[in-house]
Structure 1
Amino acid sequence: MNEYELKVIDEIADWKRKITRRTGMIKRLSKKAQGKINHLIPTKVHLVLTGSIKAMVKATLFGSQLMTRKSQERRLSLEERDKLVRKKIVAYQRTAIVEGAGTGAGGILIGLADFPLLLTIKMKFLFDVAYIYGFNTSEYEERLFILHVFQLAFSSGEIRRITLSEIENWDIRKQHLVEMDWHKFQEEYRDYIDFAKMFQLVPGIGAVVGAFANNNLIRHLGLTAMNAYRLRILNRAPEY
Structure 2
Amino acid sequence: MRIASFLKTAAIAAALLLPGFAQAGDKVTVGVSGGDGEVIWQEVKKVAAKDGIDIQIRVFNDYLLPNAALDGGDLDLNAFQHKPFLENQVKTKGYKIVAIGDTVVSPIGLYSKKVKAPAELKEGAQVGIANDPSNGGRGLLLLAAQGLIKLKDGVGILPRVLDITENPKKLKFRELDAAQLPRSLDDLDAAVINTNYALQANLHPGRDAIAVEGTKNNPYGNIIAAREKDKDNPLYLRVVKAYHDDAIRQFILTQFKGAQLPVW
TM-score class, shorter: under 0.3
State the TM-score, normalized to the length of structure 2.
Answer: 0.22
Identify the structure with bigger relative contact order (alpha carbons < 8 Å, sequence gap 6+). 1
- Structure with the higher strand share, 1 or 2: 2
Compare CA radii of gyration and give the structure with the larger one.
Answer: 2
TM-score with structure 1 length normalisation?
Answer: 0.23
